[in-house]
Amino acid sequence: MNKVVYVVPAGDQWGVQCDHCKEQLKDTQLEAITSAKDHVAELPAGTVSQILVESGMGRWRTEWTYEQDPFPPRG
């Protein structure tokens, strides 16, 4: 099962959200991304996980995939 962690704007803060954890609020986007990376690092080995960062306008600007990418680009 894939685990997706979202870093999203939350008023004047940044939220770290996922369906398997409690939402966290951070003061800066960098703190939220660091928290998301720390969370993914604590998942069991072999867990496919992604971190998605929202730009603030409803668009996803950054993505990190850990372990085996379920949708790798054709190559």
Domain ranges of the chain: 3-66
With 0.85 as the threshold, say if the pTM is over it. Answer: no
Q: Report how far Cα 13 is from the mean position of its chain's Cα atoms.
A: 16
Instruction: Tally Cβ neighbours within 10 Å of residue 33.
Output: 19
R_g over Cα of the chain: 12
- The widest CA-to-CA distance across the chain, in whole angstroms, is 41
Distances (CA, A) of 12 to 8, 25, 51, 54: 11, 10, 21, 14
pLDDT at residue 33 in the model: 92
Tens-digit pLDDT profile for residues 22-63 = 889 999 999 999 999 999 888 888 888 888 999 767 788 777
Contact 62, 22 (CB under 8 A): no
